[in-house]
Amino acid sequence: MAPQTSFPALLESLTQALSSASESTEKLSAPIPPKDGISLLDVKNELFLSYLQNLVFLILLKLRNRKSSSSDDEEEAEALDEHVVNKLVELQVYLEKGVRPLENRLKYQIDKVLRAAEDSKRIEDASKPKMNGKLSRDDDSSEEEGSEDGDAELDNGAALDQIDDQQHMPNPTAFTRVAVGADDRESARDGVYKPPRIQATAMPTTTGPREKTDKKANKSATLEEFVNTELSAAPFAEPSIGTTTIAGGRRRKSEKQLNDEAERKEYEEKNYVRLPKESKKERAKHKGGKDAGYGGEEWRGLGEGIDRIERLTKRKDGEGRNVLEKSRKRSNEDGPKGSGGGVEVGQGFQKRLKALDGGRRDRGKK
């Protein structure tokens, strides 16, 4: 069934809505607006009512413009329509940007007040005596019932006072953790380790971080460079000649150093700031980690082998000299090699120089 869009149907629906609203307001026992209400809700109702009034006024203007045919009336109607539309937009902004955020902030307090009102109403309904079919009762029973009603009213008043005191207080149980029950504790004593659910814990390991790093295979920069330059079909950029040589041409900058310099230069150009130079400690650290000039990283295994030999032949505490130290520190009993005898080269000259010095000292004493 299609909705009725004729003017009499719209007027009839509007009159029905107004009559139902007037009947509902007459049934309300509380004053309008309430004495101790929330002003935000009153403002919200006023905005909604004003929005509906302007909307109805705009509908009436649209219906009136259909009947008029003169140009002056059309211009005046368009100006009036624009004014009403601007008013509707203004009210919509008030509702969306003003009332809704404030209502979200006050939602917790409003829910507390409504919950307290529902609890008080529930207590009042529970305290009322249930009506039975028999109306004839003895005087003693009526007196006992009156005393019970008095006690119930006292309890009801105390409960209402407690609700009024706690209706704006936050719920402290929401900030406490749920206690572990006895059944859960007994089930956890089966001897099987169960990690906590809040934060996962890693089991302790016997290997340290240094051992983990030693297990990693060392990458060959020479092999990677060969693969990237010779075996790859993708184009690559080559730096200018002479820009990658350092230490007087004895070494070349690695790809990592070139990338670091490019990143440093890009950062300085983007942020218009000059980064500080490397300190002495950083330069010494980088220098210690560099490979030798001759052979590069391909001769890295030689140093590791020498360190291993020295570690194996090192003298322990309380022991004498080992064979390697004895061979290195052996005394020259046979004289210097290549001299052809036991006389060291220049020994006669040293004797003559010593004699001349002694004669000069004796001349001054005479």
Q: How many helices (H) and strands (E) does the chain have?
A: 14, 2
Can you tell me the distance from the alpha carbon of 358 to that of 350, in angstroms, rounded to the nearest whole number? 13
The number of beta carbons lying within 10 Å of the beta carbon of residue 106 is 14
Can you tell me the distance from the alpha carbon of 284 to that of 278, in angstroms, rounded to the nearest whole number? 10
Instruction: Render pLDDT for 48-67 as a digit per residue (tens, 0 to 9).
Output: 989 988 888 888 888 887 66
Instruction: Render pLDDT for 329-365 as a digit per residue (tens, 0 to 9).
Output: 555 555 555 545 555 667 777 888 888 777 666 655 5
Instruction: Render pLDDT for 229-272 as a digit per residue (tens, 0 to 9).
Output: 788 888 877 888 888 888 777 788 877 888 888 999 999 999 99
pTM flag (> 0.75)? no
Average pLDDT over residues 165-185: 58
Residue 61, pLDDT score = 85
Can you tell me the distance from the alpha carbon of 94 to that of 153, in angstroms, rounded to the nearest whole number? 46
Instruction: Render pLDDT for 12-60 as a digit per residue (tens, 0 to 9).
Output: 887 888 788 777 766 665 556 666 777 888 888 889 989 988 888 888 8
Which has more pLDDT, 192 or 150? 192
Domain ranges across the chain:
27-105, 114-128+150-169
Residue 188, pLDDT score = 55
Residue 1, pLDDT score = 41
Q: Which residues contact 324 (CB under 8 A, 6 or more apart)?
A: 313
Mean pLDDT of the chain: 71
Residue 90, pLDDT score = 92
Q: Which residues contact 334 (CB under 8 A, 6 or more apart)?
A: 342
Can you tell me the distance from the alpha carbon of 153 to that of 128, in angstroms, rounded to the nearest whole number? 9
Instruction: Render pLDDT for 101-130 as a digit per residue (tens, 0 to 9).
Output: 888 888 888 888 888 888 888 888 888 765
Of 300, 286, 289, 287, give the one whose Cα is nearest residue 223.
Answer: 300
Residue 283, pLDDT score = 80
